Amino acid sequence: MGIRCLCIAPHPVLRKKALPVKEFSEATRKLSKDLIDTMYANDGIGLAAPQIGLDVQMFVANPSQKRGQELVWINPVLEPIKGRARIVEGCLSLPDIWERVWRSSHIRIRGFDASGRNVAMEVEGLLAIVLQHEWDHLQGRLFIDRLPWFRRPWVRTRRQMTHACA
**How far is it, in rounded angstroms, from Cα 111 to Cα 21?**
11
Q: Is 89 a catalytic residue?
A: no
Q: Which residues contact 68 (CB under 8 A, 6 or more apart)?
A: none
75 exposure class (CB count in 10 Å sphere: 0-12, 13-18, 19+): middle
Instruction: Give the residue from 42, 30, 44 showing the smallest Cα distance to 2.
Output: 30
| Catalytic entry in 70, 89, 99, 134 | 134
| Active centre residues (catalytic) | 134
